Every structure is written in C-alpha cells, then in structure tokens.
Structure 1
Amino acid sequence: MERSRSLTTPRAASTRAPVLVRCNTAHGTYALASNTNGSFNTADGASALPNNTSGSNNIGLGVNAGSAVAMANNVICIGTNVAGADVSDSCYVGNIHGATIDPATAASVGVDATGKLGTVASSRRFKHDIQPMDKSSEAILALKPVTFHYKSDAKSTPCFGLIAEEVAQVNPDLVLRDKNGEILTVRYDQVNAMLLNEFLKEHKTVQGLGSEAAKQDAAIADLKSTVAKQKATIAEQQKNMEFFTAQLKEQAAQIQKVSAQISVRKPARQVVSSNP
C-alpha cells in the first residue's frame, strides 16, 4: 500500500485558503499505519514508522525504520530495521556501529550546533594567528576529573570525565553551548591538546633535571676518584712513615748497644791517696 496523505480543515469562509491541520507523507505498505494525530511525519519504506500515533516531525527511511517511535517528536531513523526509540530529538542510523573503516583515511566526524556533520581540519592552511600555547595550558591543572552515571542510561554504565559547568569556570573556551546558549559539553579535543603541552613542558623539565643530575653524578665521581687517590697517597705516606719509624728505632737500638759497650770497656777510676 503506497499513500501520500495530507489532511486539511477549511475555515468557515469558503473564500479563504484551508488551514493545514495535519500533513504526513507515507510511501510503502503499512507506512505510518497507526498514525492518528501526528503531523509532518515522513515514512518511506514498507512498515516505516508503523507504530507512530501522535508523534510529529519524525522521519523513517527504510523497511521497518522507526518501529519503536510512537509519541516522540523530531526522531530520525535511517536504515532497514533501525527501530530507534520513542525519545524526542534523537537520531538513529544503521550500519555504522561496529562497521570497520580504513584507518589510513578515516577522520573523526562531529556535529555543530546547526546539525551539520563534518570534520575539524588541522592543516596549517586552515588556521591563522598560530602561537605557542605556553602557559595557556596550565588551566587544565585546575580541572577536577570525576566518575558519574548518565541519568538516561538504564544500565548505569560507569563513566569518567569532567563537569562542563566546572570547566567553564576554569576556562570558558573549553566548553560548547547549545543553540539556547546553555552549557552542553566539554571540548575534550582541546583539553587533550593542552594535556600534551603540559606533558611536553614537564618532560623538558625532567630532561633538564636529568642533565643536571648527570653533571652532579660526574662531579661526585670525580670527587670519589680524588678521594681515592688521596687515600692511596695517605696510605703510601703512612707506609713510608712506618718504615722510617722502624729504621729510627733500629738505629736507636744500635746506638744504645754501642753506648753500652763503650761504657763497659771504659777503665775504672783509680784513687791515689796522698797520706803516707
């Protein structure tokens, strides 16, 4: 069953154009089959948005696309059997999660506040006012990493990260805001660049300390060598002193021996009396 349906209700005065009440586009068997009050929905494919009743501004492209959508608004489901969820302002695309890509040519894809998909260029040709980061990265040292759970996550998956409002107090340039100007998320790619700068600064400091330590080690080695030489010299001098002391003792003993011999050989004194 293929159909394209537009419902209108005319005003009392027949001379005026009818006022559009509901306008939905359905193409495919059972596409938008359950719709009652929903408006401005687009269903293309057999059983696309089959259970939507009062939801509006929804899009289902593909067989059975958007089968989980009933009353939510602004839901996009693209791909065969991409059921989506009955959650307003959400988007579901099949054949992406788990699909492998060429790492040699792959680039991270982001979405801006207008809903535009694209990549952030890093080439110099797209930049101006390029300056060293210097001390600007020191702001991240004031950040407070936390663990948390998302309120919408029924599985309560443990998460790790930052609180955007706290980050904005440290550096407003590190957060993104939604179309209403409300703080939305952290620019983690910028935080990573600042982390790299702080790491390189710390690495340079460590290298400097290592160089200084190497110089100190060399100086200590020289001192140890000098002390060892001095100890060797002192030991040699001590050995010489012991040798000279032994010689002096030997000479003193010989002198004492000779003196004793001379004393024995010396004739005794004779006393002559002058009295008859």
Structure 2
Amino acid sequence: VALVNNTTGNRNTAIGGSALVINDTGALNTAVGVEALFSNNGTNNIALGFRAGSNLTAGNNNIDIGNAGVAAESATIRIGSFQTRTFIAGIRGRTTGFANAVPVLIDSNGQLGTASSSRRFKEGIKPIDQTSEAILALKPVTFHYKSDATNTPQFGLIAEEVAKVNPDLVVRDENGEIYTVRYDAVNAMLLNEFLKEHRKVQEQEARITQLNSTVEKQQATIAQQQKDSQSTAAEQQREIKALAASLKEQAAQIQKVNAQIELQSVPPSTVVNNP
C-alpha cells in the first residue's frame, strides 16, 4: 500500500508497495517502485526504482534513480548504485557552442562538477615560486591501456612516479590507492616554470641590449678618437710643413745676410797706375 499515512500532503504520486508510505505532509513528490521514497516527508522529490530515494527524509528537490539517496539532502541527483560503466547518447561529437562552457570533473564518490578559478572561491593564495621546479623531475612516457584491444598509443605520466616527486600532483580513489595525475595542476606548474624562464630570457635580452648599447658607444668613442687623432696628425703635419718652410726661409735669409757680411769684410783693392 502506498501513501497510507498521507494527511496534508498534496499532489503526490506513488506507484509500488510502500511507496511514500511514511509521507504525511510532503507534497509534489513522485515515487515509482517498491518502497520508493519510503521515509520521505519532503517536497518535490522524484524516485524511480526499487527502494529509490528510500533514505530521504526531509530533503527537497531531489532526483534518485536506482539509488537510495541520502537523508535530508536537497537539490541532488543520484543515478545508479552498483554500475561500473555509463553510456549516455547525445554528448560525444556535440560542441556546445557557448563561450562559458567548462570541463566536467568527477571525484572518487562519483560526483560531477567543475573546477572554479575565481578568487571569490579561494583562500590562502600565494605564488607557486620554487614548488613548480618539481615537474622538471617528471618523466613523460608512452604506453597503452591494458583494456585497449587496439593498443592505441597514449602519452602521459605514471601516477606512482609523480607521487614520488610531489604527492599533491596525484589523485587517490575511494580506497586511498593512487589513481591518476592532476594534469591541471601540472599545467599550472609548467606555466610557472615557463614564465620564470621567460623572465630570465627578458632579463638576458635587456642585458644584451645594454651591452650592445655600451659597445656601440665605445665604438663611437673610438671612432671619434681616431678621427680626432687623424685630424690632430694632419694639423701637426701642416704645422711641421709650415715650420720647415719657415726654417728654410730663415736659412735663406741668414745665408743672404752672411753673404752681405762677407762682402763688407773684404778690404778694398788699390790700383797703382805706373806711367
């Protein structure tokens, strides 16, 4: 018998033995399956399957399909309990076309979600600094999955080896076993190392530019000095030539004066006229 204890609850649908059996005031619930929403007294819950949503008590706006749900939770969708694979049509090959699309992640409990990057969701923010240097010890490998009959080549990292380098770069499963690599964190560290190297390159380029400028100035100074030296040498040559000409002229004057002095020092000759 379903809904046997309902009092003020309204617009409920119960199909299956003991479906919504405890509900008395909850409304807008849909329970399909034996003992579906068995303990529920909430509102607007949907349960499909044997004992689906049977753990719900006062929760609202839940959808439980083949899952017993969790007491007092709200606004949660739970599908399946013992399944190990999921196939959903209409996803692969379909581009959303929206600029606000983000990758979907899944945790070890099977909960789907996304990674938020906004500052308003974070605390303890500080630069990565030297921590990212750990990725330089990582060893990328090629491999194929054991379950892949086609042996498709894959490329990546071995999580156990990554854990030895930095345990924060791996994810563990519900049993605490190493499961996969946090490639998003590896990418952030790669970016940090790239930026560090980029800054080094910029500093080196600035230093090279400064050195080139210094060399150019030195070359210009040397060229000017050579030019000044050549100009000075030419001036000195002109001065030497002028001095030589002056000396030559002075020598000629001296020689002329000496000649005149010699003429003046010669005694006059006496001519005797004998008849």
Structure 2 partner of 1:32: none
Question: What displacement does 1:166 show?
Answer: 1.1
Question: What displacement does 1:169 show?
Answer: 0.5
How many residue pairs are counted as aligned between the two chains? 189
Q: Secondary structure at the match of 1:92?
A: coil
1:190 to 185, 188, 210: 185
2:174 to 163, 171, 179: 179
Q: Structure 1 counterpart of 2:196, which letter?
A: K
C-alpha separation in 1, matches of 2:258 and 2:220: 56
Q: Structure 2 counterpart of 1:117, which letter?
A: L
TM-score, with normalisation over the residues of structure 1?
0.60
Question: What displacement does 1:269 show?
Answer: 7.3
Aligned Cα root-mean-square deviation (Å) = 2.9
1:125 to 110, 116, 120: 120
Structure 1 partner of 2:146: 151
Task: Sort the Cα spacing of 1:185 and 1:157 in 2 relative to 1 into closer, same or farther, 3 A.
Answer: same
C-alpha separation in 1, matches of 2:152 and 2:127: 38
Q: Structure 2 counterpart of 1:103, which letter?
A: F
Match runs of 1:238-249 below 5 Å = 238-249=233-244
C-alpha separation in 2, matches of 1:201 and 1:103: 33
C-alpha separation in 2, matches of 1:263 and 1:163: 112
Q: Structure 1 counterpart of 2:240, which letter?
A: T
2:85 to 71, 87, 90: 90
From the two aligned structures, give the one with the greater strand fraction: 1
Structure 1 partner of 2:160: 165
Deviations 1:54-79 (A, max 9, x none): xxxxx9xxxxxxxxxxxxxx996xxx
C-alpha separation in 2, matches of 1:269 and 1:144: 116
1:229 to 220, 224, 230: 224
Q: Secondary structure at the match of 1:176?
A: strand
Question: What displacement does 1:182 show?
Answer: 1.8
Q: Secondary structure at the match of 1:147?
A: strand
Q: Secondary structure at the match of 1:95?
A: coil
Question: What displacement does 1:167 show?
Answer: 0.6
Structure 2 partner of 1:102: 97
- The unaligned stretches of length 5 or more in structure 2 are 1-32, 34-48, 51-65, 67-80, 268-275
Deviations 1:191-214 (A, max 9, x none): 111111122222222222222233
Q: Comparing 124-133 with 236-245, which one deviates more in the overlay?
A: 124-133
C-alpha separation in 2, matches of 1:251 and 1:156: 103
C-alpha separation in 2, matches of 1:269 and 1:148: 125
Q: Secondary structure at the match of 2:87?
A: strand
Structure 2 partner of 1:253: 248
C-alpha separation in 1, matches of 2:150 and 2:181: 23
C-alpha separation in 1, matches of 2:147 and 2:248: 107
Question: What displacement does 1:224 show?
Answer: 2.1
Match runs of 1:5-44 below 5 Å = none
Deviations 1:92-130 (A, max 9, x none): 222211111133121100111111111122222222212
Structure 2 partner of 1:219: 214
Structure 2 partner of 1:8: none
C-alpha separation in 1, matches of 2:147 and 2:255: 117
Does structure 2 conserve the Cα–Cα contact (< 8 Å) formed by 1:145 and 1:161? Answer: yes
- The unaligned stretches of length 5 or more in structure 1 are 1-24, 26-40, 43-58, 60-73, 77-88, 271-276
Question: What displacement does 1:257 show?
Answer: 4.2
Q: Structure 2 counterpart of 1:236, which letter?
A: S
TM-score, with normalisation over the residues of structure 2?
0.60
C-alpha separation in 2, matches of 1:115 and 1:147: 28
Task: Sort the Cα spacing of 1:250 and 1:92 in 2 relative to 1 into closer, same or farther, 3 A.
Answer: same
Question: What displacement does 1:263 show?
Answer: 6.2
C-alpha separation in 2, matches of 1:146 and 1:226: 57
Does structure 2 conserve the Cα–Cα contact (< 8 Å) formed by 1:146 and 1:160? Answer: yes
